[in-house]
Structures are given as structure tokens and as C-alpha cells.
Amino acid sequence: QVQLVESGGDLVQAGESLRLSCAASRSTFSINAMGWYRQAPGKQRELVATITSGGNTNYADSVKGRFTISRDNAKNTVYLQMNSLKPEDTANYYCSANATSIYSGRSRNFWGQGTQVTVSS
């Protein structure tokens, strides 16, 4: 199985920055695309940003120009640099990874436990 561990969440004020990290551990899976999702209390989980193994990125309109997703394949880690944070960014942020079993060749998605980001006004 692939295990994902997020870190970097914190309580900050509007306008400040945070950098989230997600370290993936795997042995029998090859990791493909990775991404960040978030869920605020009372709301649905939504896409924040994704990045393919080739480096192609995709962002939610609400974070474009402020957030940057990147990855270090050698370290099996994906990052989310969050600048100019707004109170609306407050949520639990989850790391996700699509991985393919080296045995079966089948792919599936894995999720981390989440890290809390709280932005005060």
C-alpha cells in the first residue's frame, strides 16, 4: 500500500504563507499523478491542485496565482506553496496520489490523513 503523510499546516493570518509537504512511501506501487484537495467544515472536498509525473499542473481557479504545486520524484514528495492566504483557504488539506501496482498493473488513488490550515482575518 501507499502511505501519504502531510505536514506544514498551521494557524496564520491573512496575507501570510505556508508550505505543505506530503511524503509518500511505497514499495509495490509506482506513483503517477499527485495532488492536493481541501475540505472546510460543512463543505465538500474540492480539488486544489494536481501535478502529473511529467510535471504538468492544474489548479482550482480560486488559488491560481497564489498556490504552487511541485514534486520531488527522488524523494517521493509533493509540495504546495501557499502565498497570500485568505480566510477562505481555511480547510483541512489532503494529499492524494494515483499509483499503479507493479504486480497487477492496476491503478488506484490513495489519501493522506490531512493537515489543518487556518487563516484568520
Q: Nearest to residue 110, comparing CAs of 48, 43, 23, 41? A: 23
- Phi–psi pair at 89, nearest 5 degrees: -85, -10
What pLDDT shows up at residue 14? 98
What pLDDT shows up at residue 8? 96
Confidence grade of residue 90 (pLDDT, cut at 50, 70, 90): very high
What pLDDT shows up at residue 100? 95
Side-chain-facing half-sphere of 14: CA atoms under 13 Å: 5
Residue 33 in this model has a pLDDT that exceeds 90: yes
| pLDDT one-digit tens code per residue, 105-119 | 999 999 999 999 999
Residue 22: CB atoms within 10 A of its CB come to: 25
Residue 76 in this model has a pLDDT that exceeds 90: no
Averaged pLDDT for residues 28-39:
95
Residue 47 in this model has a pLDDT that exceeds 80: yes
DSSP character at residue 69? E
What pLDDT shows up at residue 55? 93
What pLDDT shows up at residue 35? 97
Q: How far apart are CA 29 and CA 108, in angstroms?
A: 10
71-94 exposure pattern, b = at least 16 Cβ within 10 A, e = fewer: beeeebbbbbebeebeeebbbbbb
What pLDDT shows up at residue 51? 97
Amino acid found at 84: S
